[in-house]
Amino acid sequence: MGINAPIGVFDSGVGGLTVAREIMRQIPDERMVYFGDTARLPYGTKSKETVIRYSKQIIRFLKTKQVKAIVVACNTATAQALEEIKNGLDIPVIGVIDAAARVASEVSRNGRIGVIGTTGTIESGMYEKALKEYNPQVQVYGKACPLLVSLVEEGWLHDSVTEEVVGRYMKDLEYKSIDTLILGCTHYPLLRSIFRKVAGEGVTLVNPAYETAMELSSLLDSERLRCGQDVEQAGRKYEFYVSDAAEKFCDFANSILPYDIEKVQQLNVECYEAD
């Protein structure tokens, strides 16, 4: 493994593609191996123990690809498994919570910050914990929005039904006078235009996918891991794996990524259980 090794990225399904998209945009010279656990999504309704077990299986697979760093591109897995999966790894691992929390604490003017995410992410309290580490005075208001993942994965990104659902979820935050909203699920940046319309121009939207890509870029510099050569062809740079529904994943990925994916490989990740 060297500086030209790929970055490993994983998520419970397609939501982490928003992180992959930002990595492609912000760090275009880097190679990447992406795994989407499409057979076992969503993670947001699973127990902490299950999320840790799934995450460790995926980490073992990614290590077979000789990755030089790993991005946990899933808010639930970051909240429930990040610290556990860091143990014993000899490569850097980052999640999608810390960078977003830092930026939100910096841009908020009144210290009232909303966080939306899956049930697992909100109940973990990880965003509140991270925000208060940066600014103990902030007030954090969490709201679980479990229906939105399914709507995104159906492709209803600009649908009136999705807008109505977002509006109903946002009602609970309407009277909290928040000036900053963290889109605390990797699916949610795909609904940014709807959140902007519902939340209004006075609320700053924080996209963890973008902030995580920027954190990764800084990490590669500080660890001296930045790729030393340009791989011209996207097909050589990016590999995509899933645990189920490869064709559906490929169609969705090609609708949002800056490069077309020609091949998505399906594998049984449970084969990577601990000995």
Output the known binding site.
Answer: 11-12, 43-44, 75-76, 186-187
**Residues forming the annotated binding site for substrate?**
11-12, 43-44, 75-76, 186-187
Closest to 30 measured CA to CA, from 8, 62, 61: 8
User: Scanning the structure block, which residue is given the tokens 């996918």?
Assistant: 209
Q: Concatenated DSSP letters for 206-225?
A: E-HHHHHHHHHHHHHHHTT-
CA 155 to chain centre: 18
CA angle 183, 27, 69 (to 5 degrees): 80
Residue 131 per-residue DSSP state: H
Sheet of 204-206, strand order: 139-144, 112-117, 180-183, 204-206
Task: Just list the catalytic residues.
Answer: 74, 185
Residue 48 burial (CB < 10 Å; 0-12/13-18/19+)? Answer: middle
